[in-house]
Amino acid sequence: MRGTTDLVVVGIDLAGSPKRPTGICVLEGDRARTQLAYSVDEIMAIVAEADPDIVPIDAPLSLPPGRKTIADRSGEHFRPCDRALQKLGIRFFPITLGPMRMLTERGLVLKAQLEALGHVAVECYPGGAQDQWGLPRQHKSMSGLLRGLRKMGLRGLRASASSHELDAASAALVGYHLLLGEAVMLGGEREGGMIMPMAPEEEICPAG
């Protein structure tokens, strides 16, 4: 990894329920520290202690155009960033289906709480980022993903890190790239967009 050592990023692999583990990675320069949390209060406490420059979150942080709530069926099914993922050939779950609804609701709550305290929260998709990097997703090979992240320069990742922690580390790495001007925003606008390490020029706009 190249860049400055004073950048701090907190990557979050958010679970749809507080009963399930959320992966968190505090990335300071190239040093990653991961852990699990459950409640929003736990997550907020970790973010507050780290005081990050940016918080990339693996959860939907916006609604499709025309929808006022996730239960609202009057709007579109996909967001602009979802359509960009489709064009890139990256697999994802639509946010209006099944358990993604619960995750979306929780993501919107977490984003609002973070922004109320002055933090910059952005949506991230670790699985898509791993595809772009040529790394296996965690359900394919956790050991391969761990090796890949280490080769990309992340130090401090434990061999015993869970799949949630590895996805959180991936999210943090994309956020780090964003701060260095080496990531892009799918969807055309920061509000409702999704950060990604790289993408075809016609489908993205520069981050920032």
Q: How confident is the model at residue 190 (pLDDT cuts 50, 70, 90)?
A: low
In a domain, 44, yes or no: yes
Residue 133 domain-assigned (yes or no): yes
How much of the chain, in percent, has pLDDT values that exceed 90?
Answer: 64
Whether 138 has a pLDDT exceeding 60, the answer reads yes
pLDDT digits (tens, 9 = 90+) for 4-40: 668 999 999 999 999 999 999 999 999 999 999 999 9
Q: Is residue 2 part of a domain?
A: no
Residues 6+ apart with CB under 8 A from 132: 90, 196, 197, 198, 199
Residue 98 forms part of a structural domain? yes
**Average pLDDT in the 165-190 region?**
90
pLDDT of residue 208: 36
Residue 188: which CATH number?
3.30.420.10
Spatial distance between the Cα atoms of 112 and 106, rounded to a whole number of angstroms: 10
CB 25 within 8 A of CB 172: yes
Average pLDDT over residues 86-91: 84
In a domain, 142, yes or no: yes
pLDDT band (50, 70, 90) for residue 188: low
The pLDDT of residue 178 is 92
Residue 86 lies in a domain: yes
- Rounded to the nearest integer, the mean pLDDT of the chain is 88
Does residue 3 lie within any of the structural domains? no
pLDDT higher than threshold 90 for residue 156: yes
The pLDDT of residue 5 is 66
For residue range 55-71, list pLDDT tens digits in order.
999 999 988 777 777 77
Range(s) of the domain holding residue 63: 8-206
| Least confident span in 4-8, 140-144, 155-159, 177-181 | 4-8
What local confidence, expressed as pLDDT, does residue 189 receive? Answer: 60
Q: What are phi and psi of 109, to 5 degrees?
A: -65, -45
The structural domain count of the chain equals 1
Flag whether 16 is in a domain: yes
Check: pTM over 0.75? Answer yes or no. yes
Please say if the pLDDT value at position 97 is more than 70: yes
